[in-house]
């Protein structure tokens, strides 16, 4: 239920040079790309319902020609053919990895990819949480850095399996416990917060309640909450979502078509690609450090709330904060003259290279 894209309020942006420019510029990805960070060397796993026509779409041809797909697995049917079933995963993947010169770019088009089908579109049962768990174990075994999860669960076809809000404590649901374990293994889990804001449930879905992961809400271009975006906090009063990205009027790819889509299903992968580029720039960081810098870069970092979290992140701010903070004092100061003469010492501050 959490993966379904919803209609939202707001108006579409004016198209610029590339169809994806507005949503990328919204979080500073245009600057990230100009600085040379497109996710090279970062391995991203996408857990979803299917990746229909990705293998024949010209927007993904670079993925195959450059041997970027490092693994595929269908955990529902036990095969490796994930390029079928549903287009939801194709659209989610496009936010990260699609590319066609002059037309479209995902937020991290040079990442390595692991594509896993964990969501069965024909039904909703707890077994899909176990599929997610198995996929996370698989991802860990092959060295995945980032997991993007645009699926979420709160209620099931069998009502006896459904969760209550009290269950969203970060410690109860199967998928949330799996996400926490993945985070403790060092992977950065990026989860959509859910599209329940307009219905009776209204709260986030599992695994967005997990600790130490990046749960992403959806906003309009004016940075107000998209009306469908799920609310926090968790039932144990932790702030969620962690941050938000564009979830209304997002440009996505299916087959040879550029389409509009709405949902936290798409704000999450936009953020996952941002995280991939940022992590490429600072490869010695831990997953929790990446999360912290993205939070610190967000537009309401000093006044987070349970509607959109810390707000909309920005690569330039995150990059500059990290550059200023990296290293120790010996890297940042020069003593002059050396050796000291006439008991006079001059300290010269070495300014780190920043992006403007």
In angstroms, the CA 340 to CA 258 distance is: 65
Given a contact cutoff of 8 angstroms between Cβ atoms, the answer to whether 203 and 159 are in contact is no
Asked whether the predicted pLDDT for residue 349 surpasses 60, the reply is: no
Asked whether the predicted pLDDT for residue 207 surpasses 60, the reply is: yes
Asked whether the predicted pLDDT for residue 6 surpasses 50, the reply is: no
Q: What is the mean pLDDT of the chain?
A: 91
Instruction: Find the mean pLDDT for residues 256-285.
Output: 98
pLDDT of 3 reads 47
Asked whether the predicted pLDDT for residue 333 surpasses 60, the reply is: no
pLDDT of 4 reads 46
pLDDT band at residue 11 under the 50/70/90 scheme? very low
- Which segments of the chain are extended strands (E)? 43-48, 69-74, 99-100, 104-105, 112-117, 146-149, 188-192, 214-219, 243-246, 250-254, 257-261, 333-341, 344-349
Query: How many Å is the maximal CA-CA distance in the chain?
Result: 83
pLDDT of 125 reads 84
Given a contact cutoff of 8 angstroms between Cβ atoms, the answer to whether 316 and 31 are in contact is yes
Given a contact cutoff of 8 angstroms between Cβ atoms, the answer to whether 74 and 62 are in contact is no
Q: In the chain, helix, strand, coil percent, each to 5?
A: 30, 20, 50
| pTM, two decimal places | 0.90
Asked whether the predicted pLDDT for residue 322 surpasses 90, the reply is: yes
Asked whether the predicted pLDDT for residue 285 surpasses 70, the reply is: yes
pLDDT of 328 reads 44
């Amino acid at each position: 239920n959490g993966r379904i894209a919803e209609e939202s309020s707001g108006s579409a942006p004016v198209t610029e040079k590339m169809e994806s420019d507005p949503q990328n510029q919204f979080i500073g990805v245009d600057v990230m790309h100009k600085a040379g960070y497109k996710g090279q060397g970062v391995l991203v796993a996408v857990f979803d319902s299917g990746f229909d026509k990705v293998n024949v779409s010209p927007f993904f041809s670079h993925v195959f020609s450059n041997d970027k797909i490092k693994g595929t697995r269908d955990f529902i049917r036990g095969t490796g053919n994930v390029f079928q079933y549903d287009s939801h995963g194709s659209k989610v993947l496009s936010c990260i990895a699609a590319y066609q010169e002059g037309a479209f770019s995902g937020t991290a088009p040079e990442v390595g990819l692991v594509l896993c089908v964990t969501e069965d579109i024909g039904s909703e049962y707890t077994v899909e949480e176990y599929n997610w768990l198995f996929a996370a174990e698989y991802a860990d075994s092959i060295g995945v850095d980032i997991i993007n999860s645009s699926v979420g669960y709160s209620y099931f076809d069998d009502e006896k399996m459904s969760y209550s809000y009290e269950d969203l404590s970060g410690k109860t649901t199967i998928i949330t416990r799996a996400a926490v374990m993945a985070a403790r293994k060092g992977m950065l889990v990026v989860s959509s917060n859910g599209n329940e804001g307009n219905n009776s449930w209204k709260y986030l879905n599992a695994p967005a309640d997990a600790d130490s992961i990046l749960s992403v809400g959806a906003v309009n271009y004016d940075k107000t909450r998209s009306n469908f975006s799920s609310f926090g906090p968790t039932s144990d009063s932790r702030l969620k979502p962690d941050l938000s990205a564009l979830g209304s009027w997002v440009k996505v790819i299916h087959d040879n078509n550029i389409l509009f889509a709405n949902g936290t299903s798409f704000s999450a992968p936009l953020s996952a690609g941002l995280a991939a580029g940022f992590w490429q720039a600072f490869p010695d960081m831990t997953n929790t450090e990446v999360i912290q810098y993205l939070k610190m870069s967000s537009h309401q970092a000093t006044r987070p709330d349970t509607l959109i979290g810390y707000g909309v992140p920005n690569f330039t701010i995150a990059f500059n904060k990290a550059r200023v903070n990296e290293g120790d004092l010996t890297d940042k100061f020069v003593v002059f003259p050396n050796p000291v003469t006439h008991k006079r010492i001059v300290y010269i501050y070495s300014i780190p290279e920043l992006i403007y």
